[in-house]
Amino acid sequence: MKKRVLAIVCMLAMVLSLAACGAPAADAGKFTVGICQLVTHDALDAATQGFKDALIAELGEDKVVFLEENAAGDSALCGTICTDFVSKNVDLIMANATPALQAAAAATEDIPILGTSVTEYGVALEIKDFNGTVGGNVSGTSDLAPLDKQADMIVEWFPEAKTVGLLYCSAEANSLYQVNTVQAFLEQKGLTCTLYPFADTNDVAAVTQTAADASDVIYVPTDNTAASNSELIDNICRPAGVPIVAGEEGICKGCGVATLSINYYDLGVATGKMAAKILTGAANISEMPVAYAEIQTPKFNAEICTELGLTAPAGYVEIQ
């Protein structure tokens, strides 16, 4: 009997030990926040940093613990990361980029989820007639800059252009949304547009070369795979003399001549402030509308412009 009791006690101790391993790595009284970032590049890195800085500023450094994971561009790994966050019972998940948001939403309907660097939540989460509020346990911030104004930039910079190549990753739903929208605006202006989708990093070079061979100018939306391969894209398009108008500053810095971009650090700050309200009970996430960047700045890449013999129109700020 004593041996049986001892065995039961040992078994219970083992179960409790395993349970402890799955608990958040936080001290009592601290909030544990899981951060799932799709991939490393300037825009997403800035958003994550802004989020962390704002949440610490709002709650205090001693009140929050971050479990930060990067999926290295693997959407499937986002699912594994978010499932792990759920098993650790984190207090909130910050999902940086559309695939991360989709993975988090699939992983839990209970833990609050804030997205950032997500262009269109209705598209990302397949919500028909999206009215600006996701509801349930999801909200966040959008990096959408006015697509009609980005289309206007192409005409402003290249009034003689006839053909525009729309280069994007077919695995990113919000990239397709952007290029379809820009295509409609450009075709209204009489330009001929062609979609050039690449499935992943492996075929970026081949598709970019095809686009460069057939286009007067190329448009690249806010696309994470393109952002991670901007140097490769530049190495093809710049020698060919084909300019690129980009959906955000990070891509423009790597391979573009002009962009109408938001500040991703500020976007992360706005997301962090939303998180603080949710964690402290000052706001209900189900009632929080998606927030949009209020300031978009037209910018240009001086180095590439000089090499291609282009002069920025008035009102553009040089990318530093």
Per-residue pLDDT tens over the stretch 130-187: 999 999 999 999 998 899 999 999 999 999 999 999 999 999 989 999 999 999 999 9
Task: Identify the bridge partners of residue 196 per DSSP, sorted by sequence position.
Answer: 167
Closest CA to 223 of 259, 178, 159, 158: 178
Identify whether 84 is part of a domain.
yes
Q: How many domains does the chain have?
A: 2
Q: What domain range includes position 305?
A: 147-261+297-318
Instruction: Kindly state whether residue 278 falls inside one of the protein's structural domains.
Output: yes
Across the beta sheet with 217-220, the strand order is 192-198, 163-169, 217-220, 244-246, 258-261, 297-300, 317-318
In what helix (H) or strand (E) does residue 139 lie, and over which residues does it extend?
strand 138-142
Q: How far, in Å, CA of 240 to CA of 182, rounded?
A: 23
136 and 232 together in one domain: no
Regarding whether 119 and 54 lie in a shared domain, the answer is yes
The verdict on 187 and 87 lying in the same domain is no
pLDDT at 295: 80
Q: Give the model's pLDDT for residue 132.
A: 95
Token pair of 289, please?
């509308």
Shared domain for 36 and 106, answered yes or no, is yes
Is the residue at 192 inside a domain? yes
**Residue 1 located in a structural domain:** no
Q: Do the domain assignments include residue 24?
A: no
The partner residues of 300 in beta bridges, in order of sequence, read 258, 318
Query: 34 and 113 share a domain?
Result: yes
> In this structure, is residue 196 part of a structural domain?
yes
For residues 224 and 129, membership in a common domain is answered with no
134, 50: one domain: yes
- Give yes or no: residues 210 and 310 share one domain: yes
DSSP, residue by residue, 263-277: -HHHHHHHHHHHHHH
Residues 60, 190: one domain? no
Q: How far apart are CA 35 and CA 307, in angstroms?
A: 39
Query: Three-class SS of residue 92?
Result: strand
Q: Would you state the torsion angle of the CA atoms of residues 291, 295, 123, 207, taken in this order, to the nearest 10 degrees?
A: -150
Residue 135, domain member (yes or no)? yes
Q: Which ranges of the chain have pLDDT less than 70?
A: 1-28
Q: Collapse the DSSP code of 38 into the 3-class scheme (helix H, G, I; strand E, B; otherwise coil) and give the result.
A: coil
Within a domain: 20:
no
Q: What CATH number does the domain containing 284 carry?
A: 3.40.50.2300
Strand ordering across the sheet containing 291-292? 64-70, 31-37, 92-96, 113-118, 138-142, 291-292
163 three-class SS: strand
Residue 248 and residue 168 in one domain: yes
